Amino acid sequence: MNRNLIALAVLLSSAALRVYAAAGDAAHGEQLYEARCTACHSLDASRVGPMHRGVFGRKAGSVPDFDYSPAVKKSKIVWSEKTLDQWLTNPERLIPGQKMGLQVPDAADRTDLIAFLKRESGK
């Protein structure tokens, strides 16, 4: 096989893996959500934490009838891949004075959780 074709195949495979990694694995994210998040959250009902369906593009602190901290209510954050990644990495660093105590230290887990939340938001 031609060396240029092999190099092109490797380059394209590598690019495809990066796109997949950036997109996340929503199925794995769903498993993580069930294991780590459902003690406080649900997709369709607010519990200790606000509901998550439709979180993408939603302003932080805007689910009706949920008792957010004043810090979250005052924030100007709109939930996206970037802001959710920052939130899951360290909620207190993103919004000092918020109430969530969970962090997701593993970047791949955060990416998968975000992919699940994005899927469930219809995005």
What is the CATH classification number for the domain harbouring 107? 1.10.760.10
Which tens digits make up the pLDDT trace of 97-119? Answer: 999 989 999 999 999 999 999 99
Q: What is the predicted pLDDT for the residue at 2? A: 58
Sign of torsion over alpha carbons 47, 52, 58, 59: positive
More confident site: 38 or 23: 38
Model confidence at 14, pLDDT cuts 50, 70, 90, reads very low
Q: What is the predicted pLDDT for the residue at 17? A: 37
Residue-averaged pLDDT of the chain: 87
30 within some domain: yes
The CA angle 99-101-104, to the nearest 5 degrees, is 130
Q: What is the predicted pLDDT for the residue at 123? A: 81
What is the percent of the chain with per-residue pLDDT over 70, rounded to a whole number?
82
10 within some domain: no
Query: What is the C-alpha end-to-end distance of the chain, expressed in Å?
Result: 41
Q: What is the predicted pLDDT for the residue at 22? A: 54
Which tens digits make up the pLDDT trace of 45-100? Answer: 999 999 999 999 999 999 999 999 999 999 999 999 999 999 999 999 999 999 99
Q: What is the predicted pLDDT for the residue at 23? A: 81
Domain count, the chain: 1
